[in-house]
A and B are shown apart, each in its own frame.
Chain A
Amino acid sequence: MATVGRALLIVAFAVALYGIAASLYGAFAGGRAWVDSGRRAVYALAGVLTLAFAIMEIAFLRSDFSFNVVATHSSTTTPTFYKATAAWSSQEGSLLLWVWLLSVWSSLALALTRRRVREVAPVATAVLMTFASFFLMLTIFFAQPFETLAAVPQEGTGLNPLLRHPAMMFHPPMLYSGYTLFSIPFAFAIGALVTRRLNAEWIVSTRRFALAAWLCLGIGIVLGARWSYTELGWGGYWAWDPVENASLLPWLTGTAFIHSIMIQERRGMLKVWNASLVLATGTLAILGTFLVRSGILDSIHAFGASTLGIPFLILIGAMVLGSVGLVVWRRADLASEHRLDSLLSREAVFLLQNVLLVALAFVVWWGTFFPLISEAVTGTRASVGPPWFDKYIVPLAFLVVALSGIGPLVPWRRLTLASVRRGFVLPGAAALVTVLALVAVPGAWAEPKAALFAGVVAFVLVSVGQELWRGMRARQASAAEPAPVALAGVVRRNRRRYGGYVVHAGFAILLLGVAVSSSFQHAKDVSLRPGQSARVDGFDIRYVRATSHAGAEKISLGAVLDVTKDGRHVATLRTTRGFYPSQDISQGIVGRFFGGESESEVGLRAGLGRDIWTVINPNITPLLPIIERGNRTFRRAMVGIMNVPARNRQQAAAQLFTLRDAAVTAVARRFVTSPWPADFRFIVSPLATWIWIGAIVTFLGGLLALWPAPAAARRRVTAGYAARVARELARTAQ
């Protein structure tokens, strides 16, 4: 099957190259037939790559170790769920996933726009196929997913234990979907610039893809944060790691873009800004992909050093130079059709919010690339840590959240004093009351930034609530419906508007969770024996007993902990450290079961008020003499097997392996029968759960904004306004 896989990649590469040629020839010389053929090449590419991806997945599910990628990233003991996801834990498999997703999303975009943007679409097709060709070239010449091994091993190395987490099933596909979906507005922007079709049509046609990209990338980022919180064993969800930052960059500029295109769509303004934003977002998406793969910056999430850096740098260089060149070349066509009516208008709020989001992106970019910048300037690689990021990010994020509450209250074109009175009084009062109420909460003002931020969040939530309430009342006034029906009706008819408002509310909740959980967190590192306790933020955490489990996949050493407050039981926590066997036989027959990679299972009691988080780090040093004795005993036994007659040797080896498994289990049991002190980290974080609740609300809002209105309802609404305007036309014609 590997041969078929390799051949399919070559076929796909040829199809992608043909797609570029046919689309460009059709656009500039040959006519619609070539354009249609180029578009079909994208569909065909999606079909061929689906087959190739299916072959790789089947190889993983069947544990076919003749595939190098399967032998090095899976094993027979890997659970089926993780065998399926192991495909994208490898450099090779993830590149194939990237290009496959690109082909699928491109096909969808071109199918939906086949009767629109007729001049722009062929150039966009060529751009999308250029991306596909680039990634296919990498899978054919640099990181081959269908490479086979001359000597097929009986067992694979297994999946990296840190990746055995449900969030990892969806985190990479969501991130890649975000990156590849951002390629679509990027490609259409290039098409619009080349063909000088820079009005509203290309934006209307690709707006939904920009929103889908924002949504997928956001979900991917949050899943990564959740994985970090519950799997990595350090107790945080965001570490300003270069790879984390790389995914945040296009998300920030993409957020700015999906706001500012509304101004271009309505007023024909900000064309240079929007073109630059979408081109920057597309380039940053590729930069993010490059950072994960090149190994130029140290990160726990990266694939490590590789030979992919140079090709990526060439692509990114071409994207940057091409983008800047195109915007400069078409600057006359990008002139604004209108001017800003007032500095107190929704357009102005969007513009300010855009500037802040781009400033945030710049801070993240600078901090991420500072090691490279410092090395280039001083010859010494220096990096900046979380305090540096916090210093600049916190005030900017504060202002962005405040604007997300102000924006919904401000009408388009101009704001009057009367609208300020009508809109701002209630949210302003809520903010004030919240800030003053926190004075009464002991310790709340110990972190003034968090207390002020709570006030801003109250402002946002009340402004969004007020908008929903007023929308519902307006609907009730015209349709005489019960409140829930009226609310559903007004939201259904204005999904973009109210979906956006829900996103603002969710994002404010998310950042409130971040602000409070990081400002008021209590953490303690202790070493405890069973029966001993530690006190953290008023909670008594007692190490009740040690646990051990020896399975085919791993050996787990853990603890059961009892959490009480003022004598009342609060929670029982279970945390384990899993040790995966190493393939390195030099560690000994018993020792290799404790010498491979390890991962943590966090003990977590999540609550609306606070999370109680713990992780164990059992010290296995006391086991080393026993492990060494076991290694010697079994080494002698293995030599002894050589003296057994050949016909009985297999049976003797099987018995020996059974004894070895029993010995490994017994060694692990020592952690329970003769427990020694184990290291624990305890963290109590207030409102941490609201980070995930806020994220869910944000993405539900995004989904609401993305969801298309039924065609019939859309036509009915448009027809009403069309009739009014047409009457106006008739009057002016007389």
Chain B
Amino acid sequence: MPDFITHVGLTHYVVLAAILFVIGLTGVLTSRNVVRVLLAVELMLSAVTINLVAFNNYLHTGNGLLGQIFAIFVLTVSAAEASVGLAIVIALYRARATADMEDYTLLKW
């Protein structure tokens, strides 16, 4: 078997995180449902967190868990972001009776 299949290293994690991030970005750009956009944003955020943990494991020399600490804070912020984002979705739905991005034209000119 080729070496890159049997020996998984840092590069694998970075490339994988990039692929997941780009899939999430595609979702943010192309979807019309608000909830789906939030879903894709969460996908992007956790794809980035893979990087933090992998870099901590492979490149952090010495006795440190800085990457994991940072990942915990990313987790916290994304939880806060999701709760506020979904509250905004609910409020928007109450005001306009639709979850379609194209119908939210209140701030459009």
Q: Real complex partners, A and B?
A: no
Q: Report B's interface with A, CB cutoff 8 A.
A: none
Q: Report A's interface with B, CB cutoff 8 A.
A: none
